[in-house]
Amino acid sequence: MVDRRLYDYPRSGNCYKVRLLLAMLGLDYQRVPVDIAAGEAQDPAYLALNPRGQVPLLADVDGTRVRDSMAILVYLARRYGDAGWLPTDPVGEARVMEWLAVAGDELLYGLARARAVRLRGRPFDLEQCQAEGRAGLDTLETRLAGREWLVGEAVTIADIACYPYVSLADEAGLSLEPYPGIRAWLRRVEGLPGWRPLLESGS
């Protein structure tokens, strides 16, 4: 097994997006579980690797460490993917970054936090989180009207970044029934080579 390690938590949508891109790029890696629910991300040994005390964390084969799911997506796309994953022209790259911002804002503070309230009893305002989540879904639906992908004519890391928490919207207490464009987009992502579900056997 190649000495590339992903420190992750199986049910985390942020970890899931990294696992998806690793699989779609055909990169071998070892999963190192970090039980954030049990506080393992705050253990001194883990904090020595990632002082932010968060997952995911990627330790690449040459010793490079990258923390934060968005940063890891950018790193993997640039280092191992072709330009289709992250365009090199200024406008294309900016458009991808716009959607990474949506993934890290409306989808995280909306869908992800609403999911955390319902599944893990986290102390966020569920109604406010769901309202933010709907705003993110509305933005995605508008963008996907008549389009297959968020940026350009093919999948990019913008799609991978936004996919996980949208695909888990039911766990946030939000229905995707009013969003036909999103539902069709989810099916396209799930038809890509390398796609796998959030929880696989052994997860």
Note the pTM of the prediction, 2 decimals.
Answer: 0.95
Q: What is the pLDDT of residues 93-123, one digit of tens each?
A: 999 999 999 999 999 999 999 999 999 889 9
Residues in the chain: 203
Architecture per CATH, domain 90-190, reads as Up-down Bundle (1.20)
pLDDT tens column, 69-101: 999 999 999 999 999 999 999 999 999 999 999
Which residue spans of the chain are classified as CATH 1.20.1050.10?
90-190
Average pLDDT, the chain: 95
Give the residue carrying structure tokens 């890696």. Answer: 29
pLDDT at 1 over 80: no
| pLDDT reported for residue 201 | 47
Closest to 39 measured CA to CA, from 52, 53, 59, 51: 53
Residue 38 CB contacts under 8 Å (≥ 6 apart), including other chains = none
- As annotated, the residues of the chain forming the CATH 3.40.30.10 domain(s) are 5-80
CATH label, 5-80, candidates 3.40.30.10, 3.40.190.10, 3.40.50.1260, 3.30.470.20: 3.40.30.10
Please give the pLDDT value at position 185. Answer: 98
Q: Which residues contact 57 (CB under 8 A, 6 or more apart)?
A: 6, 7, 49, 50, 65, 66, 67
